[in-house]
Amino acid sequence: MSNSLNPTILLTRDGTPTLQLPNSEVTYHSIHGALSEAQHVFISEGIASLKVAPDQAIEVLEVGFGTGLNAALTLLWAKENNRTVHYRGLEPHPIAASFWEDYPWKQGSVELAEALKQMQSATSGSKGVQMGGSTFQVDHRSIENFTQSSKGYDIIYYDAFAPSHQPELWTKSLFTQLRHMVRPGGVLVTYCAKGLVRRNLMAAGWNVEQIQGPPGKREMIRAIHHPVSRFNVRVYGMILDETGERLLICNERLPDGSYAQKFPGGGVELGEGVMDAWWRECQEELGCQPAMQSVELFHTVETFIRSIFRPDDQLIALYYVCRLQSNEDVAWTEESAASPGGESNVQVSWKDWRSLDFRSFRFPTDQSAIQKLQANSTISQ
Ligand SMILES: C[S@@+](CC[C@H](N)C(=O)[O-])C[C@H]1O[C@@H](n2cnc3c(N)ncnc32)[C@H](O)[C@@H]1O
């Protein structure tokens, strides 16, 4: 088929074949084992991990149908578990049916070899494969041109080429498009566990888990479309001392026993103004409401952020820069200590804000606020 990428055959370490693009290192599966990777990522940690009622059909979307291995394994899984599956594979570069005649598939069961043959003949045509009530279809469109069917998918097998080869398939905007294609609670699994992929999935609203990867790979990603159901508005003060040289930092023991470096502040409660909430938090954490020369809104987190502690909550965080009227009014020093009258689980101290490492803050919203402060050279004037 003229649209094919003209790959060649390569044997992987578990003895099963994969394809490799000409003049490149790009392969269709992990070289550590095509079968073991597909079985682990898409079956054991994918479809087999779903919570779908036993009498309900499972809707699967595969991005990058390739050799049809994931589809063949899914067919066998459906048979063994007496499940109905409706499978849609996307493949903009289908390979000609004649290519598969010499495909050296010798591993695994006879059933798997048979299922793979069926899938490979489905790749080039449009008739698809039927087994019991299950259906398997290959669509020769790319994911960018694919629009949602009426029902949401239960799971997306995201098996595109690696970000180094096709970065356009691992972006926040594409992951947002994919999130709209799954039902609430729907899942996306992928072999790729790169930080950029994880961050883009999170920014697109997915709840991301890094789990044990297949042989030869430490981690893989399973992302869940866990819809948020409420806003959680947070307000924080970046309190500078009288001279503007030092910044007040809290070290708080959280309910889970861990510690987090953060700014004084917390959640706005219903019936409270944003500043009412901030002064209340000041009283609780610092034990006082010191007089300020100025209090100005400095930073608002504009991206989607899910609460680490409450996955139903979407965070909206506001940061105010405040300048203390007089250092004499407060007891805080460079030594970390609980404020007189403040909560005992919060220790506070002055720090030279220019030399703070943003990574020492636990929460990404605080990290972005301190980075913005450090980039703003006029703040202490
Ligand atoms: C890593 S391989 C997939 C391996 C495949 N799942 C298998 O079991 O053999 C990536 C696949 O994505 C396909 N592909 C490339 N661009 C694509 C796009 N924009 N949308 C969907 N699939 C794409 C490639 O043709 C290739 O078959």
pLDDT at 331: 87
User: Is residue 234 within 8 Å of 265, Cβ to Cβ?
Assistant: yes
Q: Is residue 219 part of a domain?
A: yes
Q: Is residue 135 part of a domain?
A: yes
Domain edge (last residue) among 224, 241, 275: 224
Task: Please give the distance, rounded to the nearest whole angstrom, from the Cα atom of residue 193 to the centre of ligand 1.
Answer: 17
Do 218 and 234 fall into the same domain? no
Instruction: List residues near ligand 1 (CB under 6 A).
Output: 5, 28, 38, 63-67, 69-70, 90-93, 142-144, 159-161, 169
Q: Report the chain's terminal Cα–Cα distance, integer Å.
A: 67
Domain edge (last residue) among 224, 254, 281: 224
| Mode of pairing for the β-strands spanning 230-240 and 219-224 | unpaired
pLDDT per residue as tens, the chain (381 positions): 446 678 999 999 999 999 999 989 999 999 999 999 999 999 999 999 999 998 999 999 999 999 999 999 999 999 999 999 999 999 999 988 888 888 888 877 899 999 999 999 887 666 789 988 999 999 999 999 998 766 699 999 999 999 999 999 999 999 999 999 999 999 999 999 999 999 999 999 999 999 999 999 999 999 999 989 999 999 999 999 999 999 999 999 887 888 899 999 999 999 999 999 999 999 999 999 999 999 999 999 998 899 988 889 999 999 999 999 999 888 899 988 888 888 888 899 999 999 999 999 999 899 999 999 999 867 666
User: Is residue 120 within 8 Å of 103, Cβ to Cβ?
Assistant: yes
Range of the domain at 190: 8-224
Do 195 and 257 fall into the same domain? no
Do 218 and 250 fall into the same domain? no
pLDDT at 126: 62
Alpha carbon distance 207, 309 (integer Å): 12
Do 190 and 264 fall into the same domain? no
pLDDT at 381: 63
pTM of the predicted structure, to 2 decimals: 0.78
Give the bridge partners for 9, in sequence order.
19
Q: Is residue 302 part of a domain?
A: yes
The two tokens of residue 151 are 């029902």
Q: Is residue 381 part of a domain?
A: no
Task: Please give the distance, rounded to the nearest whole angstrom, from the Cα atom of residue 131 to the centre of ligand 1.
Answer: 24
Q: Which domain CATH number covers 209?
A: 3.40.50.150
For residue 146, which atom of ligand 1 is closest to its CA? 20
pLDDT at 1: 41
Alpha carbon distance 125, 97 (integer Å): 9
pLDDT at 158: 98
pLDDT at 2: 45
Alpha carbon distance 177, 59 (integer Å): 17
Count of domains observed in the chain: 2
Do 188 and 217 fall into the same domain? yes
Q: Is residue 344 part of a domain?
A: yes
- Atom 25 of ligand 1, residue of closest alpha carbon: 93
Pocket test residue of 159, 165, 181, 192 for ligand 1, highest count of atoms within 8 A of CB: 159
Task: Please give the distance, rounded to the nearest whole angstrom, from the Cα atom of residue 142 to the centre of ligand 1.
Answer: 9
Mind spelling out the 3-state secondary structure of 306-370? Answer: ECCCCCCEEEEEEEEEEEECCHHHCCCCCCCECCCCCCCCEEEEEEEHHHCCHHHCCCHHHHHHH
Give how far Cα 285 sits from Cα of 53, 245, 288, 345, 346, Å: 47, 22, 8, 9, 6
Which helix (H) or strand (E) segment is 59 a member of? Answer: strand 58-63
DSSP assignments along 258-320, one per residue? -EEEE-SEEEPPTT--HHHHHHHHHHHHHSS---EEEEEEEEE--S--B-SS-TTEEEEEEEE
Do 250 and 304 fall into the same domain? yes
- Atom 6 of ligand 1, residue of closest alpha carbon: 65
Q: In this structure, what DSSP letter does residue 150 have?
A: S
Q: Is residue 180 part of a domain?
A: yes
Task: Please give the distance, rounded to the nearest whole angstrom, from the Cα atom of residue 74 to the centre of ligand 1.
Answer: 17
Task: Please give the distance, rounded to the nearest whole angstrom, from the Cα atom of residue 92 to the centre of ligand 1.
Answer: 8
